[in-house]
Amino acid sequence: MIIGELNDIARRLVAPAKGILAADESTNTIKRRFDSINVESTEQNRRDYREMLFRTPGANEFISGVILYDETLRQRGADGTPIVSILREQGIIPGIKVDKGANPLANTDGEMITDGLDGLRDRLAEYYEIGARFAKWRAVITIGKDANGNSIPSQYCIDANAHMLARYAALSQEAGLVPIVEPETLMDGDHSIERCHEVTLNALHSAYDQLARQRVDLRGTLLKPNMVISGKDASERADANEVAERTLDAFMREVPAAVPGIVFLSGGQSDEEATENLNAINIAAESMNAPWELSFSYGRALQAAPLKAWGGDAANTEAAQQEYYRRAMLTSAARQGKYTPDMGT
Ligand code: 13P
């Protein structure tokens, strides 16, 4: 295996001050985002919006890689330049979402399993040919009660998803792509941060057990986890310091030091919350000599502001790019533990 190359790509993705833009919304998800600004989700609008983000001057100071959806990886910009080339010319590494979304897990009442292993080996080979150098697979773990009132997640759901994550990771490495392993414990619900901590520990433990069993070399991987955080609707939500403490506690216990970097998802946190929490995590990590880079792979927390500023109108391109640049700059500061709320105002 080409572990040296995979390790090199993984480390470039978490280079100092840099992190990843997740722009890999599926066709259904991007339609929901466009609905929120009353823009029709046509192939051209999706291309124009994403090309606008990718051409933001100077964003490559903060962004090392972009996760693309299948459609975007194959698209060309308005002037005919392949999207992949637009990114590469700026030193940004193209990545690809390779899972096919979450569907109901058989023999449960409301838990989910991620699909997409069938034909994956061939798809990965093609994605490498087009220019992708890393991949993403997202598993979804829900905290709460199932349709029968039983507490979830079940161990069955956690282990089945971990098994699929490791299958995907092994195939990605075989194809020369760095797998981003994403076991996402959702923040939907009113659960406590303690409950999120417990479930996150379990999900990480199962994922690293399967990765080891399936012979995945962790030096050529990245982890994309949720932060350990209170449920969105919890009555008293833990502050950034507690989020940092519990998040690092979970990782120090369960994430091997061979993993080059941890890139958080924003998962529905507001822009400010995702930035403050990442900052607190990096400050705490430094004081405890955490072995991995702690960076970001944000979708919504980087895109909410530019999406709104763009509003489907090319005349707003510059304003939207400024918003994206600003969020990327602030998130980069947080990734270094150097963010202050009055920055960039
Ligand atoms: P959010 O940061 O919006 O959670 O998206 C990241 C992502 O790629 C989830 O799979």
Report if residue 341 sits inside a domain: no
CA of 43 to the centre of ligand 1 (A): 21
Specify the CATH number for the domain of residue 134.
Answer: 3.20.20.70
Report if residue 290 sits inside a domain: yes
Alpha carbons 203 and 253: distance in angstroms, whole number: 12
CA of 202 to the centre of ligand 1 (A): 21
Report if residue 33 sits inside a domain: yes
What pLDDT score was predicted for residue 345? Answer: 63
In ligand 1, the atom with minimum distance to the C-alpha of 303 is: 3
Report if residue 342 sits inside a domain: no
What pLDDT score was predicted for residue 1? Answer: 56
Number of structural domains (the chain) is: 1
Report if residue 26 sits inside a domain: yes
Cβ of 22 closer than 6 Å to ligand 1, yes or no, is: yes
CA of 32 to the centre of ligand 1 (A): 14
Report if residue 123 sits inside a domain: yes
- Is-catalytic flag, 224? yes
Report if residue 343 sits inside a domain: no
Alpha carbons 212 and 194: distance in angstroms, whole number: 27
Q: How many helices (H) and strands (E) does the chain have?
A: 12, 12
Report if residue 88 sits inside a domain: yes
Q: Say which of 111, 136, 224, 276 is annotated catalytic.
A: 224
Cβ of 300 closer than 6 Å to ligand 1, yes or no, is: yes
Domain of residue 62 covers 3-335
Among 183, 180, 178, smallest CA distance to 159 is for 183
- Is-catalytic flag, 89? no
> Could you say which residues of the chain have pLDDT below 70?
1, 344-345
Determine whether 118 is exposed, middle or buried from the number of CB atoms within 10 Å of its CB (0-12, 13-18, 19+): exposed
